[in-house]
Amino acid sequence: MIRARMPALLPVLARLPSAGRVRGFLAGLPQRGSRRLSEHLHRMADRLAGLPTGSLAAPALPGAGHPAPAPGQEAAGPAPSLAAARAAWTDRLWEDGYLLPGGAAEIQRLSGLLPLSPATTLLLVGRDAGGAAATIVAQRGAWVAAHQHDPQLAERMAARLRPIGRRVAILPWSPAAPAFRPQYHHHALALEPTAGGGSLATLAPALAAALTPEAQLVLLDLTLGAAAAAHRPALDRWLALEGRAGPPPAQPAAEAAIKAAGFQLHVAEDAGPRHCAAVTEGWARLIGAVRRQGQRTPRADALALITEAEVWLLRHRLLTAGAIGLVRWHATLRR
């Protein structure tokens, strides 16, 4: 199982002195997304796990009180160089400033469902490091109130969005106790907003309180699937790697929370297949670039690459197995 194999990869890659050897180990990953990512990375794990390992121990997962970071975020324990390297790989995977597969195209798809214009203000919350906010301003002209709970990501957003000027405001928020400017925003886009903690039971009412009457909401978030029990070890490992305190809610419970906050649901789309296809495409593109590059790869970058691979491999497997789901909801606020 990947849970047993992946720690063995870390000391192996830590000993690699150059990008050439990393490219060799990753050669089994095609440049095209014609086969599932899980098959490609599993073969890579099989090849690497049989090699002699060095003395460098794999980083331990944080305990219950110290969750591991989500991609692009840093926990208290790991060295800053590893966190920075993971953020760099994330930018290369999904495009600069995006934290979700699909990059700009996916953000355009999601935000295109909202009636945005230069006269509207959008509440943006969840997985973004500036890419989604920049896309929405450029494509729709809307004012964006981008809420980011992670200080490091907020700094990255500020640097990326500075050329846009006042069209984007970067604001803090607390997933555990969400609160936004009341009855101010015309619409909202939430991109896996519970990834950093909290729940839809507390977030949905906070979003409703922040929106004007008849405002529309597009919410993309994970749910617990029917096959979760059959994949519990992989699910637990993935939860730890993503820094989640517990599994996401089942879809009926999530929708009950949205409706209880005053939203009328119009669409509940299974976004999992599109998401998995984008994961495969992003990794195939990245591996192709790694194979072509000629410069040396620092140790922290090699470690971060495998850490990031495990995160997305497990997510891909759990989605395709039905252990988790990814749903895109479109709703209108009824007061």
Give yes or no for residue 299 having a pLDDT over 60. yes
> What does the alpha-carbon distance between residue 52 and residue 200 come to, in Å, rounded to a whole number?
46
- pLDDT tens-digit profile of 29-50? 433 333 444 455 545 444 443 4
Of the ranges 5-9, 96-100, 180-184, which one carries the lowest mean pLDDT score? 5-9
- pLDDT tens-digit profile of 53-104? 332 233 333 322 233 334 334 333 344 555 677 788 899 999 999 999 999 9
Specify the residue for token string 């993935």: 238
Residue 85 pLDDT: 74
Token representation of residue 253: 């419970």
> What does the alpha-carbon distance between residue 179 and residue 185 come to, in Å, rounded to a whole number?
13
Q: Biggest alpha carbon distance in the chain?
A: 64
Burial class (CB in 10 A: 0-12, 13-18, 19+), 268: middle
The confidence band for 16, taking pLDDT boundaries of 50, 70 and 90, is very low
CATH class of 116-273+322-333: alpha beta
Of 181, 174, 249, the residue nearest 219 (C-alpha): 249
pTM of structure: 0.80
The confidence band for 147, taking pLDDT boundaries of 50, 70 and 90, is very high
Where do the DSSP E strands lie in the chain? Answer: 121-126, 143-147, 168-171, 185-191, 211-224, 263-270, 324-333
Domain positions in the chain are 2-97+280-308, 116-273+322-333
